[in-house]
Structure 1
Amino acid sequence: MVLLVAKISKLYSKLENLHHHHQPSQTEALSASLEGFESQVSNLLKKFQSLELEILSFSWIQQCFELISLINKAFARLVVEIEYPASSWEASSVDEYLKYSLNLLDFFNSISSSLSHLAQARLSLSHGVNLEEKSPALALKNLKPIQPFSSNKELVKEKVKEASCSGKEEVIHHALMVIEGLGYWVCGVVLSGLSGDDKIYSEVRKLGIGFVKFSSFIRLETSVYEAIVEKKSGVKEVKEVNEAVAKLVTAISGGKSSDDEAEELRKKLGVFEAQLEVFGKEVNHLFDEVLSGRNQLLNGFRQLSE
């Protein structure tokens, strides 16, 4: 009996060792979670590219901007999966996230300013079109092409930094580098397109290239760089409005009938107004979302310290 018990114990011990051998270690599990997060983000970029929208059209810009929210949600799922809430993060990661969220809010404010600039220009053009029949001279004073808008403001005050850490903290830090690099890149794309200032993109793209190594991102970034920096492209609809303005100005200045040109401009301005309104709401919504998340994090730490 003693011998049988000894044999069973020895067999159980071997099975236990075999079980632990095949069970993934915490390091393997964390690596798998991080790879899963990166795969989700890469797939989001691939899905965005598969839409085949014209780069820097308003539809493309809106879909590009939505990537920030989708990537942030993928990051939130990662935090839950590895069971590492923000209350457990080291101070460096908390500080990194707070800096990132603050930079995003600054970007959103600048994007809102660019949208306001475009809205004001649209309003002036609409006034000019309405004056086209009664007072051609006054109409010409208002029928000016939409000009680029830039605030010359440093948008990224604190850039993401490499850090030496391990375990769950390393996973969080690596994921933060990805969401920061892509978040800044997306904001740079949107702001460069709306403002017509390619210098913004030239500055911000370095952050994305530095911390996002996905092939899907590299392909996307190459196409965007060509459109913004090499071709100096702006928002497609702004170009179309300016072209319609030029046609109407030529017709009025030449003393010809300008009814067709005026109607064409009215249609384009109507579509443009709707696009500005929809995108403005999206920017405000994401601003509130990021601000709410930031405040929740800060309130959580205040409660812990009490």
Structure 2
Amino acid sequence: MFCQLLYGLFDLMFPIALNLKPGSEISSFLWIQQCYELLSLINTAFAKLVVDIDYPVNRWEVTSLHQYLNYSFHLLELLKSVSSSLSHLTHARLSFALALTLFQNSPSLAIKHLKAIQPQGSSKDYRGQQDREDGDNEILREVKELNNAAASLASAIVSGKSSHAAKDLETRLGVFGKQQEALEKQVHYLFSKVFAARKKLLLSVRQCRKEP
């Protein structure tokens, strides 16, 4: 019963997190952080509930075990995908940062490093495995703003008036880096908690099977 509740929350939340409707507001770092805060809260509350009501693993029904393991598997897969996307963003940030060091002495080379950040692959619904068709809404608001700043700098380099555009991109990169770092810590923390809980559950199940 309790795993069904947790799994129901999973089903309720991830269509919101992964399937924005065409024309809806572009998601942001803050929006994503709030999603992970909710996930962390759900996992913590569930673990506390199991302890408070004295519902150890050896009393769980087979269906409940399968539901929890399936839930945690999909969540870990999602977190790994997010970590991969964050690494992709780090590479793009470094490319923009390199452009800032090159635009005065090597403007043509700097422009090559100001290519817009593209979504890494396609976002998928991990329950239905359906590709989203609206690619523009896959881009974070902050990424879109960063792309606009990079495009402005590239245009300014061509026109020979790049100092203001360079300062704008530098400022946005600094803010973006801090936001990304905060999200990375949140994702890594949640991954470690879910992975540890899943591992503990599997060890408990194996131990129960060994007992006469």
Residue 206 of structure 1 and its aligned partner are, at CA, apart by 6.2
- Which residue matches 1:95? 66
Change (3 A) 1:61 1:126: same
Which aligned pairs between 1:65-76 and structure 2 lie closer than 5 A? 65-76=36-47
- Superposition RMSD on alpha carbons, in Å? 2.8
Contact 1:115 1:280 in 2 (8 A): yes
Distance (whole Å) between structure 2 residues aligned to residue 231 and residue 101 of structure 1? 29
In structure 2, the partner of 1:136 is 107
Whether the 8 Å contact between 2:85 and 2:120 is mirrored in structure 1 is: yes
Partner of 1:279: 183
Check whether the contact 1:241–1:269 (CA below 8 A) recurs between aligned residues: yes
Residue 97 of structure 2 aligns with which residue?
126
1:290 to 194, 199, 206: 194
Q: TM-score, normalised by structure 1?
A: 0.56
TM-score when scaled to structure 2? 0.79
Is 1:78 the counterpart of 2:49? The answer is: yes
Q: Give % identity.
A: 45
2:137 partner SS: coil
CA distance in 1, matches of 2:145, 2:195: 35
Using the alignment, how far apart are the partners of 1:81 and 1:143 within structure 2?
54
Q: 1:265 aligns with which of 152, 155, 169?
A: 169
- Structure 1 segment 152-231 matched on structure 2, within 5 A: 197=122, 200=124, 203-204=125-126, 229=134
Post-superposition shift, 1:105? Answer: 1.3
Q: Can you give the 5+ residue segments of structure 2 that lack an aligned partner in the other structure?
A: 14-24
How far 1:230 moved relative to its partner? Answer: 9.6
How many Å separate the matches in 2 of 1:116 and 1:270?
Answer: 16
Q: Write the mapping of 1:44-59 to structure 2, written as runs, cut at 5 A.
A: 56-59=27-30
- Tell me the residue number matched to 2:142: 237
Offset, 1:272: 1.0
After superposition, the C-alpha distances for 1:182-210 in whole angstroms (9 at most, x for unaligned) are xxxxxxxxxxxxxxx4x52xx35869xxx
Q: For the residues of structure 2 that align with 1:230 and 1:138, how far apart are their CA atoms?
A: 29
Assess if the C-alpha contact under 8 Å between 2:26 and 2:138 holds in 1: no
Say which SS state the counterpart of residue 72 (structure 1) adopts. Answer: helix
SS in 2 for 1:242: helix
Deviates more, 1:230-239 or 1:61-70: 230-239
Alignment check: 8 A CA contact 2:72 2:194 kept: yes
1:265–1:109: structure 2 CA closer, same or farther, 3 Å change rule? same
User: For residues 41-82 of structure 1, what are the alpha-carbon distances to aligned partners after superposition, in whole Å with 9 as ceiling and x for unaligned?
Assistant: 7xxx9xxxxxxxx86121121111111111122323433454
The whole-number CA distance in structure 1 between the counterparts of 2:164 and 2:103 is: 12
**Compared CA separation, residues 279 and 94, structure 1 to 2 (3 A):** same
Bigger relative contact order, structure 1 or 2 (CA pairs below 8 A, ≥6 apart)? 2
Distance in 2 (CA, whole Å) between partners of 1:230 and 1:239 is 12
How far apart are the structure 2 equivalents of 1:121 and 1:231? 18
Distance 1:285 1:294 in 2: 14
**What's the offset of the Cα at 1:250?**
0.7
Structure 2 residue matching 1:261: 3-state secondary structure: helix
Q: 1:233 to 1:93 in 2, by over 3 A?
A: closer
**1:88-146 per-position Cα deviation (integer Å, ceiling 9, x unaligned):** 01122112211221221111111100000011001011001110111101111111111
Runs of 5+ consecutive residues of structure 1 not aligned to the other structure: 1-29, 46-53, 151-196, 208-224
Rate the CA distance shift 1:95–1:206 in 2: closer, same or farther, 3 A: closer
The structure 1 residue matched to 2:152, chosen from 230, 233, 247, is 247
In the alignment, what sits opposite 2:88? 117
Deviations 1:165-187 (A, max 9, x none): xxxxxxxxxxxxxxxxxxxxxxx
> Whole-Å Cα distance in 1 between the matches of residues 94 and 60 of structure 2?
49
Structure with larger Rg: 1
